[in-house]
Amino acid sequence: MTRPRWSWPALLLLALLVWVVAYPLVLVALDAFRNGNGWTLEYVRAVFKRSSEISAIWNSLWISVASAAVAGLIGLPLAALFGLVDFPGRRVLGALIALPVVMPPLVGVVAFLFLFGESGFVARFVQAALRLDQPPWRLEGGWAILLVHAYAFYGYFYLLGRAGLAGVDRSLLEASAALGAGRWRTLTRVLLPLLRPTLVGATLLVFLSALASFSAPYIFGGNFRVMPTQIVSTRLNGDDGIAMVETVILTLMALAGLWLASRFEGSATLTGGSKGGAPIRRSPRSRAARVGVAAAAWLIAIGLLLPHATLLLLSFVPAGTWTIETLPPVYTLGNYGALLSEPERLGPLLNSSWMAVLATAAAMAVAVIAGLLVVRQKAAGGKAIQALLAVPWAVPGTVFAIALAAVFSVDRPLALRFILIGTPWLLPLAYLIRNLPLASRPVLAGFRGLDPALDEAGASLGAGRWRRLRRITLPLLAPALAAGATLSFATALGDFVTSIVLYTYDTRPISLEILSSLRQSDVGVAAALGMVLTVLAGGVFALGSERRAVSQ
Amino acid sequence: MNSETGGQGVRGADEFLRLEGLTKRFGSFAAVDGLSLQMTRGETLALLGPSGSGKSTTLRLLAGFEQPDAGRIIVDGQDLTRIPPAARRFGMVFQHYALFPHLDVGQNVAFGLESLGVRGGELTRRVAESLVLVDLAGFERRAIGALSGGQQQRVALARALAPEPRILLLDEPLSNLDPSLRERTRHEIRALVHRLGMTTIIVTHEQEEAFDLGDRIAVLRGGVLQQLGTPDELYSHPVNAFVAGFVGRISTIPAMVLSSSQHEIRLQVEGVEWRVAPSAGGGAALANGREVTLTLRPEALRIVAVANGCLAGIVTDRRFTGAQAFFKVRTARGTVLDVMAEPQATAVGQTVGLIPAEPGLHLFTLDGA
């Protein structure tokens, strides 16, 4: 047990992960520095000579940093409100305002467009109220992207912040008070340091998400380019070498963020000390304060859910019926009917569903096998397996899309490269890779939380390996499995960033159908597709959390 | 419901802390119900009771983490009831220590001193002194996670003592230690608080701990103070069967008063007549024919040969503890009595007679009073 031993299953898993995760990235890195004739710096020079490339790098950087700052400014006060204060409706509202995080990125962007875009509700109201000839603004450029990011990502600060607050032992705050510290000193010297890993983690998460964000810059960017959109457009222009260099730069930016965060995260000893204890939530003293807080929370929640409501409303608007009116005049179920009756519309729904199911099942299988090997058996190579499972979390989706497209576009079986591009199998593979960290993180944590004595007890009672896995390990892991599977499925179902690089017409997913509906000004169908995605993702999440609640 | 002998303790000049009718309700449930008591400076009081008895709530009211619904807390003539915890200058050792995991040992101990504005060389010196007190000299830069449970406990004590609190509050301070460490730490805490002359209140559910640490003990049940007194008083003169059972081992057997006089009380116990000293009744007037509960310490019964006037029973168990052994004796009606006797007094399976011996024998009426 103490000394890691090499085992065939661990070696096989490691080899598989190297092949699908590390190998494509290494090939991209190499392709950035070679052309048909051999090694070259020609592409690197070309990138740094163009001002458009430099500004894309700069744009990506400031947007990502600013997104983290703004998301924190929105998410943390909300976490404090819902985590520290008790008021009527706290549970329901607290769950509702986490919804934007669940919404697939493209759907959120489209909902924002319908609400705040130049022909969206808010602009129309303002135009009508002020009797303007033109829409009052255009939602475009860096600020528009930042606004969408703030909305899409505040949930990370909110959810992690609430989890962090829930994990704070009340007696630590009481100890601080008993030692004579006032509120301010307790906040700055005790609570914030205790929450530091949470804060750093949420900042990193938003930074990486914003850096990898594709939907918002793609829809709202206009001429304002960030690295992911720049890479895709470079590749469309056929400058593959330059696209590889850009991909390497984007990866390095993500790794730099990861490195910086690890410097600031603080020591791991924070988990020591005392645990449990009563929640630190308090009810406001006076009735007026309670009512006031509840009212404020309702207003905030309604404001944050407006984009969802917009999407729902527009999904009932038939094409061509809404022109200059402030509110759409006609509402029918026709758009939903079209989704079911028209094969072109139904196809993407079915495509996304089977690809997401396949990718999720495969990712869960990998995660469980990794848990058995790495945590249970402590097999040699465990650290490498865990690292490879985590890599797709930090590396932007565009990078993996480009890398997979490069690897699987030639037929060289000896180099383990096959032609998958243009086949239905490349997208599920891409989804699987992107799902690996989402599936394995909760599952590995679940394995670590299992008391090994339970498996040993099963063995002493005569249960074989399979029966123990089926009757003991997997049921105990149910909450972790539910968390990993729902996260994976929802992500794959709504994926846009890798799909736009790797899709074929026959296997085009929902996100691309939304995009083409938008292009054809088929707003109602786009909204209906967005609603279907949101409901599917939200429903799966609800099922997952119910599963978790039941098993706890 | 205070005992006559234990008394409310002190009044007047010696009084340092006074609780007046302290009450805390959670919904309709009164966790602490009208608790009143006094303490002198330098005294150690143990709050003893089973879980749910209100002892921890009392401590949290004292520390200021909970607000009482009624009653007052007065320390040194000052009403602290509405003073926030940070301004009370009480030291508290939490059950799970609540050491700040992101600060090292020295920073933890310095935390309360910094609240008082202590800085620089004086801070360093006083942190070092506090660590010397708990035998952890030179541990300033250690991480909390790198300490053993016993060391964490001592850091928590040093942290609480460093700002020289007016009162030290200890919440089940030994419950997280190994049994082997528990007794040693208990002696260390006792020696330390006596040496410092620290007014101390300790919450515990273990009678041995309370007896060892407390100058006086307050026994709580359901939020109500049952009895306040020295360990000797509680053991020898419990005010009710609950206190008798909670402080030390007892057996109970129903009995009926045949007659009582100034010289003796005659009881009918399972068809046998026993005569006991009037002190067993606590001086209460016991009417003839009154049904009572007789509580018996193991040393209050003597094993004799079966004869008239003694209660017969079969020895069902023997637990050897060294100089003495504990026997379980089952009577004909199925009552099981614990009896302490010499190890060779009898053996399992034998039929023996039991007669009462003073002291350790108490009569309580059935309503528990």
Bridge partners, residue B220, by sequence: B225
What are the C-alpha distances in Å from A131 to residues A121, A134, A198, A323, A329? 15, 9, 48, 16, 20
The pLDDT value given to residue B105 = 95
Distance (Å, whole) CA A347 – CA A352: 9
Rounded Cα–Cα distance for residues A237 and B99 (Å) = 60
Using CA coordinates, name the residue in chain B closest to A182: B86
Separation between Cα atoms, residue A189 and residue A178, nearest integer Å: 14
Question: How many Cα atoms sit within 13 Å of B68 on the Cβ side?
Answer: 27
| pLDDT value of position B368 | 46
Residue, of A193 and B4, whose pLDDT is higher: A193
* Residue A193: burial class (beta carbons within 10 Å; 0-12, 13-18, 19+): middle
Radius of gyration of chain B (CA): 24
What per-residue confidence (pLDDT) applies to B223? 93
- Provide the CB-side half-sphere exposure for B348 (13 A, CA): 7
At B133 the pLDDT is 92
Q: Which among A172, A181, A267 has CB closest to B86?
A: A181
Best of B57, B80, B89, B115 to disrupt the A interface by mutation (most A CBs within 10 Å)? B115
The burial of B289, by beta-carbon neighbours within 10 Å (0-12 exposed, 13-18 middle, 19 or more buried), is given as exposed
CA B104-B108-B110 angle, 5° bins: 115
Q: Does A278 touch chain B (CB under 8 A)?
A: no
Q: HSE of A10 in the Cβ direction (CA atoms, 13 Å)?
A: 20
pLDDT of residue A60: 95
Q: Over range B188-206, report the average pLDDT.
A: 92
Yes or no, beta carbons of A180 and B163 under 8 Å apart: yes
* Nearest-by-Cβ selection for A179 from B84, B95, B163: B163
- Pairing of the two strands B199-204 and B44-48: parallel
Q: Which two tokens stand for residue B131?
A: 């660590």
Cβ contact, residue pair B92, A174, below 8 Å: yes
Q: Are A531 and A311 in contact (CB under 8 A)?
A: yes
Mean pLDDT of all residues in A394-401: 91
Q: What is the pLDDT of residues A249-303, one digit of tens each?
A: 999 999 999 888 888 876 544 443 344 455 667 777 778 888 888 898 889 888 8
Instruction: List, for residues B267-281, the tens digit of each pLDDT value.
Output: 888 888 888 887 777
CB atoms inside a 10 Å sphere around CB B329: 26
Residues in B lying within 8 Å of A, measured between beta carbons: 63-65, 84-92, 94-103, 111-112, 115-116, 143-146, 159-160, 163, 169
pLDDT tens-place string over residues B134-192 = 999 999 999 988 999 899 999 999 999 999 999 999 999 888 888 888 888 899 999 99
Contact B98 A272 (CB under 8 A): no
Helix H or strand E segment including B352: strand B351-356
Q: Between chains, do B145 and A180 touch, taking CB under 8 Å as contact?
A: no
Q: How confident is the model at residue A231 (pLDDT cuts 50, 70, 90)?
A: very high
ipTM associated with this complex: 0.72
Instruction: Check CB contact of A185 with chain B, cutoff 8 Å.
Output: yes
Specify the higher pLDDT residue, A329 or A349: A349
Give the residue from B65, B96, B97, B102 with the most A CB atoms within 10 Å of its CB, the best one to mutate.
B102
Bigger pLDDT: B107 vs A544 = B107
Q: What's the pLDDT at B369? A: 42
Residues of B in contact with A272 (CB under 8 A): 101, 143-145
Most confident range (mean pLDDT) of A172-186, A329-343, B250-264 is A172-186
**What are the tokens at A23?**
């190998």
Q: Which residues pair with B17 in a beta bridge?
A: B39, B75
- The beta-carbon neighbor of A171 closest among B96, B111, B160 is B96
Min Cα distance A226 → chain B (Å) is: 38
Asked whether the predicted pLDDT for residue B97 surpasses 50, the reply is: yes
pLDDT band, very low/low/confident/very high, at A552 (cuts 50, 70, 90): very low
* Beta pairing partners, B35: B22
What's the average model confidence in pLDDT over B76-95? 90
Pairwise CA distance, residues B225 & B216, whole Å: 13
Give the sign of the dihedral formed by CA B305, CA B310, CA B316, CA B318: negative
The residue-averaged pLDDT of A205-225 equals: 91
CB-CB under 8 Å, B160 with A181: no
A270, B64: Cβ pair inside 8 Å?
A: no
Write the residue in B88, B111, B144 that is nearest to A181 by C-beta.
B111
CA distance A508 to A350: 10
Instruction: Return the pLDDT at A138.
Output: 81
Q: Is A398 in contact with A462 (CB distance < 8 Å)?
A: no
Q: What is the pLDDT, as a whole number, of residue B10? A: 47
Q: Is the pLDDT of residue B3 over 70?
A: no
DSSP state of B107: H
CA A34 to chain centre: 33
| Tokens standing for residue A78 | 């909300």
Asked if A175 is an interface residue toward chain B (Cβ–Cβ < 8 A), one would say yes
Q: B146 near B72, Cβ under 8 Å?
A: no
Q: Which two tokens stand for residue B3?
A: 């005992």
What tens digit of pLDDT does each residue of B107-146 get? 999 998 988 889 999 999 999 999 999 999 999 999 988 9
- Residues B257 and B34: beta-carbon distance below 8 Å: no
Q: Confirm if B136 and B155 have CB atoms less than 8 A apart.
A: yes
Residue A263: per-residue pLDDT: 83
Q: Using the beta-carbon criterion (under 8 Å), do B111 and A189 form an inter-chain contact?
A: yes
Measure in Å the smallest separation between the Cα of B179 and chain A Cα atoms: 20
pLDDT tens figures, A136-160 = 888 888 899 999 999 989 999 998 8
Residue at A352: amino acid letter: S
Q: Per residue in B60-82, is it b (16+ CB within 10 Å) or e — as a string?
A: bbbbbbbebeebebbbeeeebbe
How does the average pLDDT of chain A come out, rounded? 86
Average pLDDT over residues B278-291: 74
- Predicted local confidence at residue B251, as pLDDT: 87
What is the structure's pLDDT at A48?
A: 87
* Whether residue B58 has pLDDT greater than 70: yes
User: What is the predicted pLDDT for the residue at B122?
Assistant: 95
CB contact at 8 A, B43 and B199: yes
For residue A263, give Cα distances in angstroms to A40, A51, A196, A317, A517: 34, 32, 12, 51, 45
- Place A135 in a pLDDT band, splitting at 50, 70 and 90: confident
Residue A181 to residue B115, Cβ atoms within 8 A: yes
Is A175 within 8 Å of B100 when comparing Cβ atoms?
A: yes
